[in-house]
Amino acid sequence: MRILLTNDDGIHAPGLEVLERLAAPLASELWIVAPAEEQSGAGHSLTLHSPLRIRKHGEKRYSVTGTPTDAVMLALGKLMKGNWPDLILSGVNRGANLGEDITYSGTVSAAMEGALAGVPSIALSQVMNRDDLSLGFAAAEAHGPELLEKLIKALPEKRMLTNVNFPACAPEDVQGTIACQQGFRDYLRLDVDERTDPRGFRYYWFGLGPSEETPGHRTDLERVTDNYIAVTPLHLDLTHYPSIERLAGVLDANEQSK
């Protein structure tokens, strides 16, 4: 199996080293094409107004001066052209990609770009406990090999991807692996932290206020809190099908018949 690795934390990120160790036993050919610098929160953005540069770091190992989407596009359109991967793995992200955060995630978006190209893609993230970072990627390292072997046997359908989040706990405390739906946080407010630099100019940091999570205790948000590995299938068709009939009722009937 030819596997392409990428991420949004950059070519030198510890999580990419973890992913390389997880993927190596599964791959007959392993490629790495990742952003040159951290691109967390880049989402599915594409660089259109500045040139992109590729730097070679070793055999089949490259960095790209752009976003995770840029990295995957250059891998497929240039570096691996005519020799596409059988699988794309994105991660292991330092931090969670849960709920609506997947829309901001460069990790998930890299896998999304692979899925758009028709390549089976999996995004992997390690939830971190901000009060205790000592566990690092331990859960992903311990449970990743077996999980990837299972997921490869059930790769997502075309135009779909799989989002994996490892809980912030010791490997022995992981309760299991569970397929679950994407959650949604109802943010009560967005924090904008205003500060002043040494020259007296204002600058701002975004932060998130308190949130209410999805009721029912069945989504990725709650599952990782309960120390489960959350596996969520995602698809790229954003159409809200139940609304089509409702809209059809208020739009021009003649237009609907065309």
Look at residues 153, 135, 156 and name the one whose alpha carbon lies nearest to residue 234: 156
Is 9 part of any known ligand binding site? Answer: yes
In angstroms, rounded to a whole number, what is the distance separating the alpha carbons of residues 184 and 226?
A: 17
Is 40 part of any known ligand binding site? Answer: yes
In angstroms, rounded to a whole number, what is the distance separating the alpha carbons of residues 43 and 2?
A: 25
Is 109 part of any known ligand binding site? Answer: no
Is 163 part of any known ligand binding site? Answer: no
- Angle made by CA atoms 68, 165, 14, in degrees to the nearest 5: 55
Backbone angles phi and psi of 196, in degrees to 5: -130, 130
Q: Which DSSP string do the residues of the chain spell out, in sequence order?
A: -EEEEE-SS-TT-HHHHHHHHHHGGG-SEEEEEEESS--TT-TT----SS---EEEEETTEEEESS-HHHHHHHIIIIITTTS--SEEEEEEEES---GGGGGT-HHHHHHHHHHHTT--EEEEEE--BTTB-TTTTHHHHHHHHHHHHHHHHTPPPTTEEEEEEE-SS-GGG--EEEE-B----EES-EEEEEEE-TTS-EEEEEEE--EEPPTTS-BHHHHHHTTEEEEEEEES----THHHHHHHTTS-HHHHT-
- Binding site feature residues for a divalent metal cation: 8-9, 40, 93
- Binding site feature residues: 8-9, 40, 93
